Amino acid sequence: MSDSVENNEKYSKTVIKEMLISAVLYLPISFFVWFYASALLVIPVKYLLQMVLTVWQPELFNAVTQHHYLLSIETLIFPKETFSGQGDKLAVLDVSVNPMLYGYGLAVISGLVLSVPGLKWSKVVFQIVLGYFVTVFIQTFGSFWEMIKHLAFEGGPDTSQAILDTGLAPNFIALMYQLSYLIFPAVIPVAYWIVMNNVFIGEITGLDKKQTRNFKQKTVSDKKQTEEDK
């Protein structure tokens, strides 16, 4: 039994070292590709955010346009106060958000998945693609609440009232913005990787139930062998 445990510990340490070295190599590459492909990666976020806004409040939001990786939300809110150079013209208020602030989890997922030793390429591709869709939802969620926060707290009395009239309370807006900015982009990608690779993690940490069961069976067989020898 002791030999089996010792061998498993050596195996775990070797695999962990291999994964750490791979992560150091793959994570920078993943961030590089993620940043330079940002304009393409943000396209689904644009359409998903536009659908959410126009279905939720079609009288307040018109469309979402994309400028490289930045998104501009065109509202239908006409502030009453005038601005310099505007004269008597009416102007709607547009809000610009950066979805990439919430999308770095894709690079984290890609780097970690590529670092798993012995993982088949079909599973690597599947996990990265599925992780991308998870990241799109995180980016859409973050962009939505960043826009709402800007309109509610920084856009002036007219825009604040327009958002409050939708039924969203200021404290709730602040809470959701903090979650979307600080918690979800950092926690969800790592949690996703853990769930998708739970067997591998169980093996290297010794928490895998099958391994524990095998150790118990080995212990029982050792005891029987000792009794037979007696």
Residue 157 has which token pair? 């009395």
Specify whether the CB–CB gap between 163 and 152 falls below 8 A.
Answer: yes
Q: What is the pLDDT of residues 48-93, one digit of tens each?
A: 999 999 999 999 998 999 999 999 999 888 766 544 444 444 456 7
Q: How far, in Å, are 8, 86, 88, 166 from residue 131 at the CA level?
A: 30, 45, 49, 32
- Could you tell me the pTM of the whole model? 0.81
Measured CA to CA, the distance from residue 84 to residue 22 in angstroms comes to 56
Residue 163 has which token pair? 């958002």
Q: Is 82 helix (H, G, I), strand (E, B) or coil?
A: coil
Counting residues of the chain whose pLDDT is more than 70, the rounded percentage is 78
Q: What is the pLDDT of residues 117-157, one digit of tens each?
A: 888 999 999 999 999 999 999 999 999 999 999 999 987 88
- What is residue 92's predicted lDDT score, i.e. its pLDDT? 64
The CA-CA-CA angle for residues 167, 170, 175, to 5°, reads 110
- What is residue 15's predicted lDDT score, i.e. its pLDDT? 77
Residue 182 has which token pair? 């600080």
So where are the chain's domains?
A: 2-81+90-206
Q: What is the pLDDT of residues 201-220, one digit of tens each?
A: 888 777 665 544 444 444 44
Query: Is 50 exceeded by the pLDDT of residue 31?
Result: yes
Sorting pLDDT into bands at 50, 70 and 90, what band is 29?
Answer: very high
